[in-house]
Amino acid sequence: MENKEFLSLLESLSLKQTFELKLTDDKNHTFCQLTTLQLKELIKTIVDSPITQVAFNNTCTNVMEQCLVSGMDPNINIVDRLLFLIATRIQSLGEETYKAVNQETGEEITVSLADVLKKLQTNIEKSKQLFEPQLVTLNDVTLVYGIPTLLNEKRLNQEVYDNLTIDSDNMDEVRDFLGKTFMHEITKCIKSISTNDTTMEFELYTFDQRSEFIEKLPVGLIKSVISFIEKYKSLIKESLTVNDSQLSVDSSFFAL
Amino acid sequence: MNFPIKLKDKTVYCKELSVKHYKEILKAIYGDEPSEEVFVETITDIIKQLVNEDLKPVVDELSIIDTFLVLLRLRINSMGDTTTIILKSNKKEATLELRLDWIEKELSEFNNSICNKTLEYENIKFKFNAPSCKRLLSKTDTDYLYFLEELHISEEKSLKIKTNEEAKKVFDRLPIKGSITFIKYFNEFLDKLQEINFLKQYNSFSKEVLGFVPNIQSVIWFTKLIFNESIETFYNNIYYLCQISHFNPEYIESCTPGEYIFFSKKLEQTIAERAANRTSRNTVTNTGELPTGLNEFVDKSTNNT
């Protein structure tokens, strides 16, 4: 049999092995199982920025896009990606347990990933309002914001983090970087700013331009966004906490 | 004379090794870092010359372990089943008559138990086998890729993997559980490989380890062990067999290595007897090296004329 034909046949086999997963939109989506190449790509991201995790996040988004049978939905967010990563680890690697290390005590604990996934889905169900578009108005300025979408994060990585190099010995550079990272965390949640009859859709602007707009906003508005970010991150943290140990979903999560 | 060599799934009939082949082997393993390509070409070429016509295509497909087993059997049949080695441990030296037939048996058992296996994952079948010498010549970072010999999907569709690049392309497209099945077996293979110790049957040396790794460097090392005459000694012996015993070099090359060793030892005895009958300070060493003062023989023959 011809090599190309055989390789296509192998690819089609992978496409047939699927699993269903309910995302934050309350709908079931069909995903293919990971191939060995995709797993290798995920593991490669072990060399990554610990602050931005750009390589890992980009790779996960790409893999999720490749695995989603119906194609990428622009509303799929970073919590959906977390659901996918845990589910695909269970389905594709066929292992429901994971050995995690307690960072403080160094103790190794066995975690049931199925339980973690269930806990995360339960917490999402209980906090449905977090996954709706959020509104806050102050002095005729209205912000619409929500959980960052994967497309938005991908764009941030492409525009800002992909080509970023920092001299870690230069404290001014490091401070500047941390300040901008904090700003970008806020910016990537915001969908639009409205004032009187004018609405500024953020997707039409670069992240640097968006940051400029945000810097001019009253602190009271930004506080709401920060509070929202703390809430959804807290939901994630709580879902990934098992026996006082935090499960790290990063490149090491896929190391066998 | 033809003799059978039993491999895992076939029996190969071989002629005996000749001195000409023996010389080629010594040349191929000469030096601190013999060329892997030269070694593989030489050994496969020699084996092809010794097997029947219909088996020649099979030789290129032989795994590295099978190739070494053939070489081992050729050595045993032509030069005996022992070789003397010196083991050094804690500044002490000990001499051991290493049984090559024991090595052949242990390696054969390993080969039969763990190599040439079919693994299954859903409707995919993998054939796991030690790689051929030619496959080992092209390097890869991922060791288990060498061991993927063939892949079948749904019984009818199959692909024989000829290169590591092909193996990589196939692996990248496999579902992870399929890859894991293969890699797990590869790890079992490595665990079993670590259990090999050709010295474990020698009580005095049970703490020493002589293992085997299925790669070309290891086979070159073992070939040096089993064919441990230096090329210089070999050429010296041929020269003096021709010079003193008046052998024809073509005849010597057509003999088996066993016959060559016999003739060399006879030459050694003859020279030792002659030296004992004369007042001479030259001695014959155990390695079969002849006295450098050959002029004595030349002078004698000149005086006679």
* Chain A, nearest residue to B179 by Cα: A36
pLDDT values of chain B reduced to their tens digit, one per residue, 305 residues: 788 888 777 787 889 999 999 999 999 999 999 999 999 999 999 999 998 888 888 888 899 999 999 999 999 999 999 998 888 777 778 888 999 999 999 999 999 999 989 999 888 899 999 999 999 999 888 899 999 999 998 777 888 999 999 999 999 998 888 999 999 999 999 999 999 999 988 887 777 889 999 999 999 999 999 998 999 999 999 999 999 888 999 999 999 999 999 999 999 898 888 888 886 555 544 444 454 443 333 333 333 33
CB–CB contact A13 B153 (8 Å): yes
CB–CB contact B170 A7 (8 Å): yes
Who contacts A9 (Cβ-Cβ below 8 Å, separation ≥6)?
B153, B157
Tell me the CB-side half-sphere exposure of residue B296, using CA atoms within 13 A.
Answer: 13
DSSP secondary structure letters along B122-148: TTEEEEE-PPBHHHHHS--S-GGGGGE
CB–CB contact A14 B173 (8 Å): yes
Chain A contact for B177, CB < 8 A? yes
Structure tokens at A211: 């940051």
Measured between beta carbons, the chain B residues lying within 8 angstroms of A9 are: 153, 157
Asked if the interface predicted TM-score (ipTM) of this complex is over 0.90, the answer is no
CA dist A124 and A22 (Å) reads 11
Indicate the residue type of B9: D
CA dist A199 and B7 (Å) reads 79
Contact status, residue A25 vs residue B162, Cβ threshold 8 Å? no
Quote the pTM value: 0.78
- Top residue of A5, A11, A36 to mutate, by most chain B CBs within 10 Å, is A36
Contact status, residue A248 vs residue A40, Cβ threshold 8 Å? no
* Chain A, nearest residue to B151 by Cα: A6
CB–CB contact A94 B177 (8 Å): yes
Structure tokens at B85: 């080695």
Encode A16-47: b = buried (16+ Cβ within 10 Å), e = exposed: ebeeebebbeeeebebbbbbbbbbbbbeebee
Chain B contact for A11, CB < 8 A? yes
- Top residue of A9, A13, A40, A66 to mutate, by most chain B CBs within 10 Å, is A13
- Top residue of A6, A39, A89 to mutate, by most chain B CBs within 10 Å, is A6
Closest by Cα among A43, A1, A254, A36 to B169: A36
